[in-house]
Chain A
Amino acid sequence: MFAFILRRIALIVPTFLGVTLLAFALIHLIPGDPVENLSGERGMDSERRARLLHEFGLDQSLTVQYFKYIGQVVRGDLGTSLTTHEPVLREFATLFPATVELAFFAMVFAVCIGLPAGIIAAIKRNTVADYAVMGISLTGYSMPIFWWALLLILFFSVQLGWTPVSGRIDVLYDVPTTTGFMLLDTLRSGEPGAFRSAVSHLILPSIALGTIPLAVIARMTRSSMLEVLREDYVRTARAKGLPYWQVVLVHALRNALIPVVTVIGLQVGLLLSGAILTETIFSWPGVGNWLIHGVQSRDYPVVQGGILLIATIVITVNLLVDLLYGVINPRIGHG
């Protein structure tokens, strides 16, 4: 187990180098620079521009800049934002809970609907229920988030007026931030109605973000379940006289979950990237929204640091999934 974790951590180092190089290269490839962005439409005289470029260290060669950046990162310093002059790490830490909250509920939505839907499709194979589940999930998977989110807003918020259009909570409430997770904070604040408001703000973004993972989970569960239901041990379970639901939910599902858990883990990375679009559309004050602003204002430290931190999280989650894999599948011991 321990050796396995060590091996995986050793593998992380080259991955990180790749991520930093890619993030650095991409953001520097975009035309424009932070100073140009600061100067606005009226422009700036060249002397002042040169001074600012020197101040930000942008007058050096890219190679030097990159190695300076790596040196910083190794010491745990992700730099400060060029627009807000706040440390990148602190900004990220403030905004990250909002993204986690959104991603978490999107995942809950995806698993709670996708898993049962996949199971039903498998046991009702080649029936209307199966075709419905597979058809809807294929539609959901093919739906671009930005369009799907707008449809949801148009229908539920504008037409029916059931849910708010954007934000994390109604402006009427002033909830002190303690954990950063709105649902927990509103509960702790004890303000009446605040929790309800937070929940209603969370619904549409969670659905928009959770739809693609839902579709993937439903399809994966179905195919994995179909495979497992043919196994000899399922026949043994039935030969014991177990009720059908127990055969399916205990004996078959436990085995069918093994590949599904891997897929759920892989979806976490997708959720964080999908969050960028979702957060922008719903004005959700999370990391995705912040990264988009970073790109727009060519805030190099924000973009590089943000990508690096998100990559760290995705890698960590994947490592956790690998470890979990050994827990749910007794045939694999990470010894």
Chain B
Amino acid sequence: MRSHEGQAVPLLEIEGLTVAFGSVARPFLAVDGVDLTVDAGEIVGCVGESGSGKSVTALAVMGLIDFPGRVSARRMRFGGHDLLALSDRARRAIVGKEIAMIFQDPLASLNPCFTVAFQLTETLRIHGTVQERASRRARRARALELLRQVEIPDPATRLEAYPHQLSGGMAQRVMIAMAIACNPKLLIADEPSTALDVTVQAQILQLLVRLQREHGMALLLITHDLAVVAETAHRVVVMYAGEQVETGPLPAIFETPRNPYTQALLAALPEHNLDQARLRAIPGVVPGQHDRPLGCLLSPRCVYAVQRCRDTQPALYGPPGRQSRCFFPLDDAGRPTNDWEREAAATVDSLAR
């Protein structure tokens, strides 16, 4: 199930995606040259800290980046459509139908002024089958069925409910029902469980995985929770400060990370710190608009950083499907390679450390 090499053309194919905000003269790149492919029926996890550009990537795929944000890419294709060349109208015909998205805060993502039924059937009215578009009763019947699919108890009553009458978990189920209403080929879930209670989180993830399997849709799971990704995804993309830093299949990427950032993220997991008095954390924060380092974006926070890392930006190295943005990709034992010791010794401040 985890192998999808047979697929010739990926469902979603993005190359060099860049999303810039701010002025043209001094843009801030929220996403900088990200490559991302998602095959049909695949679960891809996209992990990274807050501000690493995960959500912005997803919004760019959905076409929801507004002025003053600017989206550019070398290539952005979805299921035979060139997303860069599509008119707004043609884009809207895909969005909500073939690509659907659910968001972090389900209660804020539902319109407080309309009932669940209205918001569910609205999707069917524009994207549904011929019968659903024509008949109110067909839409209602489908809405009821969708609520059953997402395991909402007493669905007939819930149809008439307003969002404020739902719990967070219930609201996220409604969001999922809305998203899968037209059997999308790709579902983007942007931190789908972050705003929910721990027990509800697990239920929502189970639901997503079940629906993904039943519908054979691809799932792009955006999260900062490595555990969530480890349990569900087939393949992982690790993002940092708007760049992709590592990509690879599970469980390899977590067992033998090639990038120091992935290694540090894993080391920060509570279950890896059981014998420690303090949780290990990555010092510092993701660089913002005004403090972007000259070289590798991780260099100020990386334990392995040497002079070369501070001066020049590394590219993505490694075979396709297992790439890492680092001059010294880690080996299976988690030690930097490529003669790192020699360069580290040569770096003056590495001596100071």
Contact = CB atoms under 8 A, between A and B. Distances in A.
B93 interface: yes
A236 interface: yes
A241 B113 contact: no
A204 B178 CA distance: 50
Interface stretch (A6-14, A227-235, A277-285): A227-235
B344 interface: no
B94 interface: yes
A331 B62 contact: no
B45 interface: no
B122 A233 contact: no
A313 to B, nearest CB: 29
B101 A239 contact: yes
A240 B95 CA distance: 6
Contacts of B103: 232, 235-236
A255 interface: yes
A235 B64 contact: yes
Interface of A: 231-233, 235-244, 251, 254-255, 328-331
Contacts of B109: 232-233, 235-236
Contacts of A255: 111-113
Given A241-B126, A254-B113, A330 B93 contact: no
A48 to B, nearest CB: 68
Contacts of B88: 244
Contacts of B92: 241-243
Contacts of A243: 92
B68 to A, nearest CB: 10
Interface of B: 62, 64, 88, 92-97, 100-101, 103, 105, 108-114, 122-123, 126-127, 162, 164, 175, 178
Given A235-B64, A255-B113, A330-B113, A241 B105 contact: no
Contacts, number: 68
Given A233-B108, A240-B96, A330-B113, 13 more contacts: A235-B64, A236-B109, A236-B110, A239-B95, A239-B96, A240-B123, A240-B127, A241-B94, A241-B126, A242-B122, A251-B111, A254-B113, A331-B164
Nearest to A332: B164
A330 B162 contact: yes
Contacts of A330: 112-113, 162, 164
B112 A240 contact: no
B193 to A, nearest CB: 16
Given A242-B122, A331-B162, A233 B112 contact: yes
A201 to B, nearest CB: 40
A233 B164 contact: no
A243 B127 CA distance: 12
25 contacts: A231-B108, A233-B108, A235-B103, A238-B64, A239-B62, A239-B64, A239-B96, A239-B101, A240-B96, A240-B123, A240-B178, A241-B126, A242-B96, A242-B122, A242-B126, A243-B92, A244-B88, A254-B111, A255-B112, A329-B113, A330-B112, A330-B162, A331-B112, A331-B162, A331-B164
A328 B114 CA distance: 10
B47 to A, nearest CB: 22
A233 B110 contact: yes
A-B pairs with lowest CB-CB distance, top 10: A241-B96, A240-B96, A232-B108, A233-B111, A241-B95, A241-B92, A330-B162, A254-B113, A232-B109, A236-B109
A238 B59 CA distance: 11
Mostly, the A contact residues are helix
A231 B126 CA distance: 22
Quick one: which of A233, A237, A244 has the most chain B CB within 10 A?
Answer: A233
Contacts of A236: 103, 109-111, 175, 178
Nearest to B104: A232
Contacts of B164: 330-331
A266 B126 CA distance: 39
Contact of A254 (B105, B110, B114, B126): B114
A243 B125 CA distance: 12
Contacts of A235: 64, 103, 109
A238 B91 CA distance: 11
B135 to A, nearest CB: 19
A231 B107 CA distance: 11
Contacts of A251: 111, 114
Nearest to B97: A241
Nearest to A255: B113
Contacts of B162: 330-331
Nearest to A244: B88
A251 B113 CA distance: 8
B132 to A, nearest CB: 14
B92 to A, nearest CB: 4
A192 B88 CA distance: 52
B110 A241 contact: no
Contacts of A240: 95-96, 122-123, 126-127, 178
B183 to A, nearest CB: 14
Contacts of B94: 241
Quick one: which of A237, A243, A255 has the most chain B CB within 10 A?
Answer: A237
Contacts of B97: 241
A231 B105 CA distance: 11
Given A236-B103, A330-B164, A241 B111 contact: no
A65 to B, nearest CB: 52
A328 B111 CA distance: 13
Contacts of A242: 92, 96, 122, 126
Nearest to B105: A232
A255 B105 CA distance: 18
Nearest to A236: B109
A241 B127 contact: yes
Contact of A239 (B100, B105, B108, B110): B100
A241 B93 contact: yes
